Amino acid sequence: MVLGQGRITEEGLAELRRRLGMFIRTRQFNTEATRDAIRHFADGIGDPNPLFRDAEYARKTRWGHIIAPPCFLYSVYSCAGRAGGLPGVHGLHGGNDWEFFRAINVGDQITAQDQFTDLVEKESTYARRTVIQYSVAHYRNQSGDIIAKTTGWQLRAERRAAQEGGKYRELTPYRYSEQELQHIEEQVLSEEIRGAPPRFWEDVHEGDTLAPVVKGPLSRNDMMAWTVGWGGASGIVAHGIALRTFRRHPAWGYRDPGTGTMEPIREVHYSSSPAGSIGVQVAYDIGAQRISWLGNLMTHWIGDDGVLKKLYAELRIFNILGDTTWCRGKVARKYVESGDHLVDCEIWAENQRGQVTSPGRATVALPSRAGS
């Protein structure tokens, strides 16, 4: 199966540079944080936290109602440095740097605005000449208040160069023993949700480890559940709506030579055949999905009274179908700033091969026994 074989050319780069500073067309999936939309997103990342789904439970918390996981904003608009250009050149989500300013309340109507901010050329062992695109998105509620902002970046790579480079040629599904699978399932089912008991700032110490959150082995069902909650970078549409979309935006789709059907480029996340066009032999996860798992780690740890202030994560290694991810973290620093009792954490996603696939960091505000 062959997708477009575009090239990174001087003309294409010049066209992209002319777009710097321009606002990117934001095609939103969710425009309102309804109870159903929040629940579908939480289902999609496997997060059972009642704060995000149980109205009676949420009424007894400091919020007084259901709120959304901070990374719910990916389902509004997934900021990943998209600016178009370079037709036929693949794009890989590289990471996000989030700053959250207020909670996402049930009923909030949310709009996103994304601006193309930077373009960096880079030599890569994956696909030789590559380009990194950056954009900055702001998310606002119905009152015009900024909920969050994020810098997102995307690696653009020529598909043919990625195939020829062969960096991931040996990356194949992991073969688990029955004992390994049982152990993983036990860890998945024993995840710790802090919930109502406050995690006080005074009780946290540098070097403390966070209880891990385990996701996997990654299945096609996991990918479908994520897509239902997230909605896709350009939305999930079908039949005539999809065909009109592909005709307006030819770079968003391709024709499967085996079936003759028009398929979206995101099929690399669900089918191993198109994934092979970029030098990966197996379908792989979606970057926003993995970063949301790290967000899940943090909201489990901080409890109902904590607030996630910042979340940064890089997407370094492909996480293919069948891989298991341990989201881990440890306390790096605690301090008081502008009256907030803050904790910085080093966080990361690690697979069953012992590879760190996503290094990151987070900052949270915790309640204090002093009452401030």
- The two structure tokens encoding residue 331: 């306390």
Give a yes or no: residue 372 inside a domain: no
Q: What is the pLDDT along the chain (372 residues), one digit of tens a residue?
A: 345 678 999 999 999 999 999 999 888 999 999 999 999 999 999 999 999 999 999 999 999 999 999 999 999 999 998 888 898 898 899 999 999 999 999 999 999 999 999 999 988 888 788 999 999 999 999 999 999 999 999 999 888 887 878 788 888 999 999 999 999 999 999 999 999 999 999 999 999 999 999 999 999 999 999 999 999 755 678 888 778 878 887 767 778 777 888 777 677 787 777 766 777 888 899 999 999 999 999 999 999 999 999 999 999 999 999 999 999 999 999 999 999 999 999 999 999 999 999 999 999 999 999 875
Domain range for 284 is 10-365
Written as one letter, the residue type at 313 is A
Give a yes or no: residue 252 inside a domain: yes
pTM for the complete prediction?
A: 0.94
Q: Does residue 139 sit in helix, strand or coil?
A: strand
Give a yes or no: residue 371 inside a domain: no
> 31 near 109, Cβ under 8 Å?
yes
Q: What is the DSSP string of 291-323?
A: HHHHHHHHHHHH-TT-EEEEEEEE--S--BTT-
Split into its structural domains, the chain has a count of 1
* CATH number of the domain that residue 108 is part of: 3.10.129.10
